[in-house]
């Protein structure tokens, strides 16, 4: 299980844009080739406030993703800024409009910000961009009860979020991890490992605590339990991702019932005793 942080742009005003701005940038492309190149580096992005338990609410925001090292890798003998302007003139015009603005708290603008790549139009070094192209489990950096969401391939995250991906792309195992993290046992272990009860129920992403949670391996002996859990998670994701979920009390009640089934299966997976279950359920 690998944990990664979302993208730190150093200047969200410029690099995180709404759909209207994205459409304007694409409309200003002079050729179909430029439009295609431009479209490929503008990625949907989520913020901390977009994450809920099991689900996410995409706000129609996009990340302009020009990786550190891209310019020098591709420009040949052309001057860096000339090359960038030639390849992405529409994005260049968008970004350069922020050049003289300052970030209020640090008094540094787009050109002189600390978090950048080789040049001001590039994002800082990040060797795990391919992980964003995978399905992932996502949670907020700082939150009270740590709701974990299942997020689709190709969606990026800002630096207020953490994510877990699977290096083999094993969807069943990823859904098992999601079920454990969103279960009562997972919540209990998070509270225990991160000592949330003694630090006001807040911890910075709970990264260390999550890494300590023992994820039960899938074996021939427990595979029937894992398959049941995976099926329940799939049902929950189908319900929570429906457009009317937030207002549909029937679907919300169904999710609660499915969560209860997952709790019992997770207890069974970990071979917990009745007394241990009572402790987790708060009955002792």
CA 131 to chain centre: 10
Decide if 269 contacts 229 (C-beta within 8 A). yes
pLDDT at 145: 66
Q: How far apart are CA 163 and CA 225, in angstroms?
A: 25
Per-residue model confidence as pLDDT tens for the chain (284 residues)? 788 999 999 999 999 999 999 999 999 999 999 999 999 999 999 999 999 999 999 999 999 999 999 999 999 999 999 999 999 999 999 999 988 665 454 557 889 888 999 999 999 999 999 999 999 999 986 656 678 999 999 999 999 999 999 877 678 899 999 999 999 999 898 888 766 544 444 445 567 778 888 888 889 999 999 999 999 999 999 999 999 999 999 999 999 999 999 999 999 999 999 999 999 998 65
Q: Specify whether 90 is located in the same domain as 197.
A: no
Give yes or no: residues 134 and 117 share one domain. yes
Pair 117, 70 in one domain: yes
In this prediction, residue 146 carries a pLDDT of 77
152, 105: one domain: yes
Q: Can you tell me which residue has the tokens 């015009």?
A: 93
Res 209: pLDDT:
75
User: What pLDDT shows up at residue 169?
Assistant: 61
Q: CB–CB of 149/51 below 8 Å?
A: yes
Which of 151, 168, 185 lies at the terminal end of a domain, its last residue? 168
Q: How far is CA 88 from CA 16, 26, 68, 75, 180, in A?
A: 17, 10, 15, 13, 44
Of 138, 168, 198, at which residue does a domain stop?
168
Quote the pLDDT of residue 194: 67
Residue spans of alpha helices (H) in 98-248: 171-182, 184-193, 207-212, 223-240
Assess whether 9 and 141 both reside in one domain. Answer: yes
Same domain, 261 and 248: yes
Tokens 């700082």 sit on residue: 142
What pLDDT does residue 107 have?
56
155, 61: one domain: yes
User: What is the total count of domains within the chain?
Assistant: 2
Question: Within this chain, do residues 220 and 269 fall inside the same structural domain, yes or no?
Answer: yes
pLDDT on residue 121: 97
Q: Is residue 178 located within the same domain as residue 157?
A: no
Same domain (yes/no): 78, 159: yes
pLDDT of residue 163: 95
φ/ψ region of 267 (left if φ > 0, alpha if ψ in -120 to 50, else beta) reads alpha
Same domain as 217, residue 163 = no
- Considering the domain architecture, whether residues 189 and 154 belong to the same structural domain is answered as no
- Helices 171-182 and 249-269: crossing angle, nearest 10°? 100
Domain hosting residue 204, numbered range: 170-280
Among 146, 168, 190, identify where a domain stops.
168
């Amino acid at each position: 299980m690998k944990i990664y942080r979302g993208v730190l742009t150093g200047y969200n005003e410029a690099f995180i844009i709404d759909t209207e701005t994205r459409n304007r940038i694409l409309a200003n492309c002079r050729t179909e080739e430029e439009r295609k190149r431009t479209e490929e580096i503008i990625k949907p992005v989520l913020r901390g406030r977009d994450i809920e338990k099991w689900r996410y609410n995409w706000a129609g925001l996009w990340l302009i993703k020009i990786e550190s090292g891209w310019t020098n890798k591709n420009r040949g003998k052309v001057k860096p800024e000339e090359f960038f302007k030639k390849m992405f003139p529409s994005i260049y015009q968008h970004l350069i409009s922020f050049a003289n603005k300052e970030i209020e708290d640090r008094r540094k603008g787009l050109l002189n910000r600390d978090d950048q790549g080789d040049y001001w139009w590039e994002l800082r070094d990040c060797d795990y961009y391919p992980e964003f192209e995978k399905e992932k489990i996502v949670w907020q950096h700082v939150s009270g009860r740590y709701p974990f969401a299942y997020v689709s391939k190709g969606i990026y995250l800002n630096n207020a979020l953490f994510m877990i991906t699977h290096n083999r792309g094993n969807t069943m195992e990823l859904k098992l991890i999601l079920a454990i993290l969103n279960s009562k046992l997972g919540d209990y272990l998070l509270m225990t490992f991160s000592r949330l009860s003694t630090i006001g129920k807040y911890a910075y992403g709970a990264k260390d605590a999550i890494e300590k949670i023992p994820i039960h391996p899938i074996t021939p002996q427990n595979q029937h339990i894992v398959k049941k859990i995976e099926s329940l998670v799939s049902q929950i994701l189908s319900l929570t991702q429906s457009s009317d979920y937030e207002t549909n009390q029937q679907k919300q009640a169904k999710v609660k019932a499915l969560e209860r089934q997952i709790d019992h299966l997770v207890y069974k997976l970990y071979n917990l005793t009745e007394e241990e279950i009572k402790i987790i359920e708060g009955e002792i």
